[in-house]
Amino acid sequence: MVFGDSLSSAYGLPQEAGWVSLLKKRLQQERLDYQVINTSVTGETTRGGLSRIAQSLATHHPAIVILELGGNDGLRGQPLDATRDNLEGIIKACRLHGAKVLLIGMRLPPNYGTAYTQKFQSIYPELAKRYRLPLTPFMLEGFGYDPAMFQPDRIHPAAAAQPIILDNVWKTLKLLLG
């Protein structure tokens, strides 16, 4: 189950162009017997994710949760302790439900200030270490600073970036798939 925000919901793109749809195809190509459920919501924050994780887990019973949230918290300047606590609550709920968690890290643009962006970025490896989770450090690795790889809003990756996102996630996900 992919549990994320607009970066995972293929915002501004045809669904089949998004990295989650590409993941479905990759699993088929690799002959791995997994079903992919995308419960990502455009605009989602960690608070919103925390409020809906129990229902998503009860409805879908995932073996693995790809947790991609926090970017909207950072872009809105939310308190970092709240972001960390919400992600931690989601992780605990997933574990309680017996699901493995793959944590997807995010970074913020530099205009939020060095202190805030560094503290934000450190949330992901800290949680991964504390809960012994596999971590994709930065979902947009390899293109995050290339404006040509983004839609006109300069926030959402273009179709050309989606295979790169999948490759970034796949490096860590394949270890969980066995």
Catalytic residues: 6, 153, 156
- Select from 164, 112, 159, 124 the least CA-distant residue to 143: 164
- Select from 177, 170, 174 the least CA-distant residue to 19: 170
> Pseudo-torsion of CA 169, 124, 59, 176, nearest 10°?
40
- Range list of β-strands (E), 75-120: 100-104
Q: Tokens standing for 63?
A: 């073996």
Q: Is there a contact between 90 and 67 (Cβ–Cβ < 8 Å)?
A: yes
